[in-house]
Amino acid sequence: MPTAGRSPRAVLLRRILLPLTVIAGLVIVWDLTIRALAVPAYMVPAPAAVARALVKERAMLLDNAIPTILESLGGFALGNLVAIAAALAFVHNKMLERALYPVAVAVRTLPIVAIAPILVLLLGNGYAPKVAIAALITFFPTLVNMVEGLESADVQAMELMHVLSASPSEIVRYVRWPSSLPYLFSAMRIASTSSVLGALVAEWIGTNKGLGYLIVLTTYDFRTALLYAAMVVTSALALLFFFLVSILESLLVRWER
Amino acid sequence: MAPVEIACHDVSMAFATGAQPVQALAGVDLEVERGDFVSLLGPSGCGKSTLLRLIADVLQPTSGSIEVRGGTAMRARLAREFGFVFQHPGLLLWRTARANVSLPLEVGGWGRHHDPPHQPDDLLALVGLKGFEDAYPRQLSGGMQQRVSIARALVTGPPILLMDEPFGALDEITRDHLNQELLRIWAATGTTILFVTHSIPEAVYLSNRVFVFTPRPGRVLSQVRIDLPSPREPSVKDTPEFVKHTAALRRALAQGG
């Protein structure tokens, strides 16, 4: 086609084929490097060995992926819900914002790897501490973005709502909430991948299932091919969440384009 | 003499910003009769937009009284007795033109408790946007967006229209065109219009009466009756009478310093 620059095919080429080519190139470089330098398999496995591990151990990988998926999703949902509720409360009550916002910032500065064991002590070995950590890691970006998003409402639209004698809940429904959606989604895109990271870190401490556990276990056992396979699955999971959030965004926030 | 729709008696307004309160308006007396087209003319920062917001009950005067249709400004706001057109359209980006126009019907359930005097589509046709009912604001030009906001202000059939430099941000060609449309709408609806502007020709072309304001703090310097024939056509701008009026207003403004 003469106008190839903007045709759907050209877009597909740039958006999907280009990054795939880069990834394929990196895998080839990886393969060639370990061959050239004769890196032992327990240090860095060959791409083909990782692929074999992915296929051979798929049942085990899936078994361990499920708890990680549940924890990430649970934490993602909880963290975002609490953050949205807090942002709505802050926007309507400045005193509350002044009192609690610094606390939220302070909690954020605590290293997540230090909080993880504390939460395991507090909440036990089950899903609860993992969900809590994934929620904690999700909470802050959403809170910050959501407060900004709710405040981003057009000044004249807000004056119009006053002229129309709108109630506070109507102002949120008609103006503040839709105005905040682009902000919420940019926070959720960050949270979609970091919630997986949160669940993973939580699984390093006190559990016997999950991709995080599998990563620690295979590291100690020098089952490096499986370790890499677990990393690939984790990464694919995070990418999938990111992708789902992006799709949801393109469905709900059409006016930004 | 037609009944008085808007009456301001000795209205003063000071903003408590910073160390020194800023005096925006000082002892403003003003009356607008039913069916009139009245302009408030003055330099930027003379408080004419502030006066409009006092009448709309968006702000409260420091002293003095404001009566709208025989009651308080608040009563008039709650009864939706005026529509407000802002300098910037303030449209909700996630709503189509039609949905933006019907917003005042939705807020507070107004459309359920009252018989809407106009259909949103009819109003969009009235402002010359037939065929753009399903367009989103981002797909419309600045002038078209302002037309949507005029249709929105008219949808509840308010007896008064308050307009705050509605065409100030538009280019001159679009502005002339919309001035013409506004006169047509005024003739079609019989609405009382209070119009803020800092353009002398615009004030002369549109109004029956012009209140000239001094710079800050804003005071009514003089009141000028524009006795050009109605309905007005753009050609009136080339007549000696029109030039005489603009010259008189320019002199009046110069007196204010």
Q: Which residues of A217-247 are buried (b: 16+ CB within 10 A; e: fewer)?
A: ebeeeebbbbbbbbbebbeebbeebbeebee
Q: Do A165 and B77 touch (CB under 8 A)?
A: yes
Q: Give mean pLDDT, residues A50-79.
A: 94
Choose among A234, A59, A193, A212: nearest CA to A127: A212
Backbone angles phi, psi at B7, to 5 degrees: -135, 125
Strand partners, B7: B31, B67
Q: Do B90 and A157 touch (CB under 8 A)?
A: yes
Choose among B50, B108, B78, B89: nearest CA to B168: B89
Q: Give mean pLDDT, residues A139-165.
A: 92
Chain A residues with CB-CB distance to B77 below 8 A: 163, 165
Q: Give mean pLDDT, residues B78-96.
A: 92
Tokens encoding B19: 């160390």
The predicted structure's pLDDT at residue A1: 39
Could you give all domains of chain B from N- to C-terminal order, each with its CATH number? 4-81+158-256 (3.40.50.300), 91-157 (no CATH)
Burial class (CB in 10 A: 0-12, 13-18, 19+), A95: exposed
Residue A257 has pLDDT above 60, yes or no: no
Instruction: Indicate the residue of B53, B104, B138 with minimum beta-carbon distance to A164.
Output: B104
The predicted structure's pLDDT at residue B189: 84
Chain A residues with CB-CB distance to B89 below 8 A: 156
Interchain CB contact of A175 with B (< 8 Å): yes
> How close is the nearest chain B Cα to the Cα of A156, in Å?
5
- Do you find a cis peptide bond into B217, omega within 30 degrees of 0? yes
Q: Do B108 and A170 touch (CB under 8 A)?
A: yes
Residue B136 has pLDDT above 60, yes or no: yes
Strand partners, B13: B25
3-state secondary structure chain A: CCCCCCCHHHHHHHHHHHHHHHHHHHHHHHHHHHHHHCCCCCCCCCHHHHHHHHHHCHHHHHHHHHHHHHHHHHHHHHHHHHHHHHHHHHHHCHHHHHHHHHHHHHHHHCCHHHHHHHHHHHHCCCHHHHHHHHHHHHHHHHHHHHHHHHHCCCHHHHHHHHHCCCCHHHHHHHHHHHHHHHHHHHHHHHHHHHHHHHHHHHHHCCCCCCHHHHHHHHHHCCCHHHHHHHHHHHHHHHHHHHHHHHHHHHHHCHHHC
Other beta carbons less than 10 A from residue B82's beta carbon: 27
Chain B residues near any Cβ of chain A (below 8 Å): 53, 56-58, 77-78, 80, 82, 84, 86-94, 103-104, 106-108, 110, 136-138
The predicted structure's pLDDT at residue A124: 83
Q: How far apart, in whole angstroms, are the C-alpha atoms of residue A71 and residue A202?
A: 10
Residue A188 has pLDDT above 70, yes or no: yes
Burial class (CB in 10 A: 0-12, 13-18, 19+), B125: middle
Residue B241 has pLDDT above 70, yes or no: yes
The predicted structure's pLDDT at residue B104: 94
Task: Using alpha carbons, list the distances in angstroms from residue A55 to A69, A225, A226, A230.
Answer: 20, 11, 10, 12
Q: How far apart, in whole angstroms, are the C-alpha atoms of residue A148 and residue A144?
A: 6
Share of chain A above pLDDT 90, in %: 61
Are A55 and A171 spatial neighbours (Cβ–Cβ below 8 Å)? no
Residue A111 has pLDDT above 90, yes or no: no
Q: Which of residues 191-220 of A touch B (CB under 8 A)?
A: none
Instruction: Indicate the residue of A160, A170, A253 with minimum beta-carbon distance to B90.
Output: A160
Q: Do A156 and B136 touch (CB under 8 A)?
A: no
Q: Do B104 and A162 touch (CB under 8 A)?
A: no
Instruction: Indicate the residue of B88, B91, B108 with minimum beta-carbon distance to A166.
Output: B108
The predicted structure's pLDDT at residue B78: 92
Residue A70 has pLDDT above 90, yes or no: yes
The predicted structure's pLDDT at residue A6: 60
Q: How confident is residue A2, by pLDDT bands cut at 50, 70 and 90?
A: very low
Q: What is the pLDDT of residues B93-135, one digit of tens each?
A: 999 999 999 999 999 988 888 887 888 998 898 888 889 999 9
Q: Could you tell me how many CB contacts below 8 A there are between chain A and chain B?
A: 63
Q: How far apart, in whole angstroms, are the C-alpha atoms of residue A24 and residue A14?
A: 15
Chain B residue at shortest CA distance from A255 = B94
Q: How far apart, in whole angstroms, are the C-alpha atoms of residue A58 and residue A136?
A: 30
Q: Do B84 and A166 touch (CB under 8 A)?
A: no
Q: Give mean pLDDT, residues A219-223.
A: 89
The predicted structure's pLDDT at residue A105: 84
Q: Give mean pLDDT, residues B84-95.
A: 93
Q: How far apart, in whole angstroms, are the C-alpha atoms of residue A233 and residue B91?
A: 45
ipTM of predicted complex: 0.89
Q: Which residues of B175-192 are buried (b: 16+ CB within 10 A; e: fewer)?
A: bbbbbbbbbebbeebebb
Instruction: Indicate the residue of A162, A167, A254 with minimum beta-carbon distance to B58.
Output: A162
Interchain CB contact of A157 with B (< 8 Å): yes
Distance of CA A253 to the CA centre of its chain: 19
Q: Do B80 and A165 touch (CB under 8 A)?
A: yes
Q: How far apart, in whole angstroms, are the C-alpha atoms of residue A8 and residue A13?
A: 8
Residue A3 has pLDDT above 50, yes or no: no
Residue B257 has pLDDT above 80, yes or no: no
Q: Do B58 and A159 touch (CB under 8 A)?
A: yes
Average pLDDT, chain B: 89
Is the Cα torsion angle B111, B112, B113, B117 positive or negative in sign?
positive
Tokens encoding B239: 């007549």
Chain A residues with CB-CB distance to B50 below 8 A: none
Q: Do A163 and B106 touch (CB under 8 A)?
A: no
Strand partners, B22: B15
3-state secondary structure B142-179: HHHHHHHHHHHHHCCCCCEEEEECCCCCCCHHHHHHHH
Chain A residue at shortest CA distance from B109 = A166
Are B90 and B146 spatial neighbours (Cβ–Cβ below 8 Å)? no
Chain B residues with CB-CB distance to A149 below 8 A: none
